Amino acid sequence: MSVQQDHNQKYSLGIVGGRGYVGQKLLDLVNQHPQISIEWISSRQLAGQPIQTLIETDATLAIENLTPEDIAERKTDVVVLALPNGLSQKFVNKLLAVKHAPKVIIDLSGDNRFDSKWHYSVSEIHGELINTVKFNKKNNSTILISNPGCYATAIQLALHPIKSWIKGSPSCFGISGFSGAGTKPSLNNDPAHLKDNIVPYQLIRHLHEREVSTHLDLPVKFTPHVAEFFAGISMTIHCQLTMHLSEDNLMALYQQFYQKHPLIQICKEIPLIQQVVNSHNCHIGGFAVNGNHLVLVSCLDNLLKGAASQALQNINHALNLDQTLGLLQDKTGV
């Protein structure tokens, strides 16, 4: 969506948990953003080290170990919570209790994806509604954003345009690079375990299965797998439609649905991880139809479009900036 921007307005951003893969990716994006600057980074493990430990930059910022109370007193415009699941609430409570609460708090974990006070946003689907869902506190208003999961993003972008024609429960088979398992050592990011291997895990009741089913208002079945490559997701989806739609019908429908969203690319061929890794794009395509049975594929970079790039899109929405600002420089005129 095209918005009226104030190119002179500047915003400050701080991040809790910048050490993780997604935190580093988001810091790198913000470092190049024309209207948002990094004010502080909090990481217990890296406290005292320069910002160059995480990203390449000319900035002289040092990483700190900040308490929730410290962060609440910083008067930062945008606070990013890039923490493991279960750790966000103590920071949120302190941030919302102060007079100068942030304009935006965005949680990258799964803690608030089912909380109605938070605006859950796959940017191309929900982003334009962000400013209508706010947490009101006296004279201040903080926009609370829950950033979706990477698998959940790939599935929802693929299914949302046709959800009115889906019968039953789509079946979603996803393969991710091992960066999706995070930096904490486990079998799912152990090179020896993954070598020449594809590893299925959490075969039922995965968080992203519940997440998609809830926010798409459509029951889905999802099975995740991890492989020995670092980044990227390939999602193959089977679904039954209530009517016959040809491959050409589907191509036209998807192209029209996403015509105002430059990060979504619709392709006739089956999309591949190599086409999206290290990019902000999601490729959807490979439409194959047999009667009313549809198979399609959605590919994205789990650390970028599935996490950091999407977070920046959502922050842009909340600040009334173009959703691609800092991602597609040639689209923004800067």
Check whether residue 126 and residue 109 sit in a common domain. yes
Q: Which of 150, 172, 239, 299 is catalytic?
A: 150
Are residue 183 and residue 81 in the same domain, yes or no?
A: no
Strand partners for 135: 142
Q: Name the residue type at position 222.
A: F
| Mean of per-residue pLDDT scores for the chain | 92
**Confidence at residue 181, expressed as pLDDT on a 0 to 100 scale:** 79
Q: Is residue 215 part of a domain?
A: yes
pLDDT more than 70, % of the chain: 93
pLDDT tops 90 at residue 8: no
What is the reported pTM? Answer: 0.93
Q: 138 and 50 in one domain?
A: yes
Residues 142 and 275 in one domain: no
Residue 322 confidence (pLDDT) above 60: yes
pLDDT at 334: 30
CATH number of the domain encompassing residue 172: 3.30.360.10
Write the pLDDT tens digit of every residue in 242-270: 999 999 999 999 999 999 999 999 999 99
Residue 12 scores a pLDDT above 70 = yes
| Domain-embedded: residue 35 | yes
Q: Same domain, yes or no, for 83 and 224?
A: no
Answer yes or no: do 30 and 59 share one domain.
yes
Asked whether residue 6 is assigned to any structural domain, the reply reads: no
Q: What is the mean pLDDT of residues 98-106?
A: 95
Rg (CA), the chain: 20
The mean pLDDT value for 191-212 works out to: 92
- For residue 1, being part of any structural domain is answered with no
- Domain-located, residue 136: yes
Count of structural domains, the chain: 2
320, 296: one domain: no
Looking at the structure, tell me whether residues 156 and 212 fall in a common domain: yes
Residues 71 and 118 in one domain: yes
> Does some domain include residue 2?
no
- Residue 150 annotated in active site: yes
Domain membership of residue 4 (yes or no) is no
Q: Is the pLDDT of residue 221 over 80?
A: yes
Residues 220, 93, single domain; the answer is no
In the predicted structure, residue 135 carries a pLDDT above the cut 90? no
**158 and 222 part of one domain:** yes
Residue 290's domain comprises 150-302
